[in-house]
Amino acid sequence: MTAAIETTEAGAPIKREPRFSWLWQLLRDPLGCFGLILVLLIVLAAAGADILSPYDYKALDIKARLAPPSFEHLLGTDNLGRDTFSRILHGGRIALYVALVSVGGSLVLGLILGMLAGYGPRWLDNLLMLLFDAVRAFPVIMFALAVITVVGPSLETIIFVVIVTSVPGYARITRAATLSLKNTEFILAERSLGAGTVRVMVSHLLPNLIAPLLILASMDIPVVITIEAGLSFLGLGVKPPTPSWGSILNDGYSFIRNTPWLVIAGGIPLIITTLGFTFLGEAMRDVFDPKMKKDR
Amino acid sequence: MLLYTFRRLGLAVLIVCLAMLLLLAAIHMVPGDPAGIALGPRATPEMREAFKAKMGLDQPFVVQYVNFLTNVVTGDLGVDVWSNRPVSTMIGEQLPHTIALAIAGLGWSIMIGIPLGCFSAVHRNSWIDKLTGVLSVGCIAIPSFIVGLYALLLFAVNLRWFPAIGAGENGDLGDQAMHLVLPGLAVGLGWVGYLARFVRTSMLEVLGENHIRMARAYGLPRRRITYVYALKLAILPTIALLGVGVGGLISGAVFAEIIFARPGVGKMVVDAVNTRNYPIVMGGVLVTTMLFALSTLLSDLLAAWIDPRVRQGL
């Protein structure tokens, strides 16, 4: 690919990066490429779950219960004779839904709170930082268990817990970046031109903050998926008829002495997803934030 | 050092108090009827009121919080809703098992992860270094309960090398150690990856510094330079990571205790969630949060003891 060359009014050429250069850089990293393929695989499988699944994920077939993998049932069946492959495809939807909603939510909330802490008055900064430290004092699963005791298990509970516990991470990064940008010349210049606080924050600070936050978000997705699957594995996540990788693992655990296939089948998509997003996130970090890349 | 210790201790206590305040506030804010959920749809309003009074949920929020704190200071965590046993004794019985598991998991990962990280840093860009890099990311990414389930399937159900259930006979140390192997593996595997990567990065930084070049110029053996002079500096960020990581370790231990049916705080709390046993859940959360705060405190103090520069930070 060649860099497009444009000329300014004065006639001096300026080099401009090709639009998708970051994508090429990403694909040149073998692990990043591998991660991208795994992520695409999972996203496509979840999106096309209705077309791809050979059976209805709720359909019972008691005669064929706990069947091993065969051409009829690609990954075997569970204790109620439901097709595991179809359930895994639909479980991917739940996992990605939880991940997108809660990572998106914590990103936005963390961004707002972090900018407030970094740009706002000193007392607000101190108060928010103390709050974040307090939230981070909990082991995540323990906090989740306490909330579930009171509210009862559901998809919304999981999303609430994940947002509350991961906002501090995003807010801290935003705050640190805001503090370091706050007194740079371009912000001071903008303010001396009469720009209001909101304008400075939204159109000048925000674009500089978004890259590190997106990297953190892509590293966070596997963590969130793990929490959802973990809570569903404990029987405290998604409610039974809805398929989730965690509840497939839970069924598999109950029948582990009868068949190994449920546990194996339930674990594979989780491994693929977590590995995919982690490798992708690492590669993205190397591309967007070369300072972080140390002697690799 | 003494001043630093007291300040850091005060901060830890403050953080735990605030964390519990937040938890109670969160529980109050979200709409929910714990008594209704616990007793089922057929409970009469009077039964619900009585149940709420028993759990202390009928009082105003501030009163609940103050009661909670004063009770905690006197070591009273309330009683089990169903059996009326004091929660503090129940936690006291379970806690040693959880701590043993955490130490086992962290122990083997430290013994493997730190040398692996040093080795990777010294032999940078060798095939072992590259393989370690990929494998450690893999270890970090894979959830600990998947490791636990696969280990259970392979080593306990199929090969029958290790026991699958329980914590072993009381007093029989060998048996108890055998019961710790698989849960310890599950809890610690991610840490091997974390430590290897982290130690490698900080080691590379330290190895580039002047005093290390100086030592090399003196002709000191390479192994001595790496493991004596460089490791002492490179270990500092790792100690901080270990302190913060205990939170994740506790979360991992919950799953390991469930999967291997081990007694422990995690299993106790999960069972309590299923029976809506509010005081036990709160007690378990409090104790694990305190454990977490204690470990970050210890790691900070250790770092301050090794490196005097840290003490001026607070």
Confidence of residue B58 (pLDDT cuts 50, 70, 90): low
Secondary structure in 3-state letters for B11-42: HHHHHHHHHHHHHHHHHHHCCCCHHHHHHCCC
**CA-only gyration radius of chain B, Å:** 23
Asked if residue B44 belongs to a domain, the reply is no
Residue A230 and residue B204: Cβ atoms within 8 Å? Answer: no
At B106, which CATH number?
Answer: 1.10.3720.10
pLDDT digits (tens, 9 = 90+) for B78-105: 777 677 778 788 888 888 888 888 888 8
**Which residue among B27, B149, B270 sits closest to A150, beta carbon to beta carbon?**
B27
Q: What angle do CA B209, B214, B216 make, to 5 degrees?
A: 100
- The C-alpha atoms of residue A217 and residue A156 are separated, in whole angstroms, by 20
Size of interface A-B (CB pairs under 8 A): 153
CATH of the domain spanning A26-48+76-288, picked from 2.40.50.100, 3.40.50.1820, 3.40.50.300, 1.10.3720.10: 1.10.3720.10
**Overall domain count for chain B:** 1
Residue B98 vs residue A8, higher pLDDT: B98
- The C-alpha atoms of residue B293 and residue A137 are separated, in whole angstroms, by 7
pLDDT digits (tens, 9 = 90+) for A74-122: 777 777 767 778 888 888 888 999 999 999 999 999 999 998 888 888 8
Chain B CB contacts of A279 under 8 Å are 137, 141
Asked if residue B43 belongs to a domain, the reply is no
pLDDT score at A4: 46
**Which residue among B152, B285, B293 sits closest to A143, beta carbon to beta carbon?**
B285
Residue A133 and residue B18: Cβ atoms within 8 Å? Answer: yes
Among A65-79, A89-103, B204-218, whose mean pLDDT is lowest?
A65-79
Asked if residue B15 belongs to a domain, the reply is no
- The C-alpha atoms of residue B262 and residue B165 are separated, in whole angstroms, by 6
Chain B CB contacts of A230 under 8 Å are 143, 145, 255
CB B229 within 8 A of CB B215: yes
- The C-alpha atoms of residue B288 and residue A89 are separated, in whole angstroms, by 36
Asked if residue B234 belongs to a domain, the reply is yes
**Which residue among B150, B157, B285 sits closest to A142, beta carbon to beta carbon?**
B285
Residues in Cβ contact with A125 at an 8 Å cutoff, skipping those fewer than 6 apart? A117, A118, A175
pLDDT at residue A293 tops 70: no
* Mean pLDDT of the region B99-126: 87
pLDDT at residue B106 tops 60: yes
- Mutation target among B27, B39, B51, B142 for the A interface, most CBs of A within 10 A: B142
pLDDT digits (tens, 9 = 90+) for B244-297: 778 778 888 888 888 888 888 888 888 888 887 777 888 888 888 888 888 888
Asked if residue B156 belongs to a domain, the reply is yes
Domain that holds residue B184: 98-263
pLDDT score at B291: 86
Asked if residue B177 belongs to a domain, the reply is yes
- The C-alpha atoms of residue A250 and residue A98 are separated, in whole angstroms, by 19
Is residue A152 classed as helix, strand or coil in its secondary structure? coil
Asked if residue B61 belongs to a domain, the reply is no
Asked if residue B258 belongs to a domain, the reply is yes
pLDDT score at A159: 92
Residue B137 and residue A278: Cβ atoms within 8 Å? Answer: yes
Chain B CB contacts of A149 under 8 Å are 34, 272-273, 276-278, 281
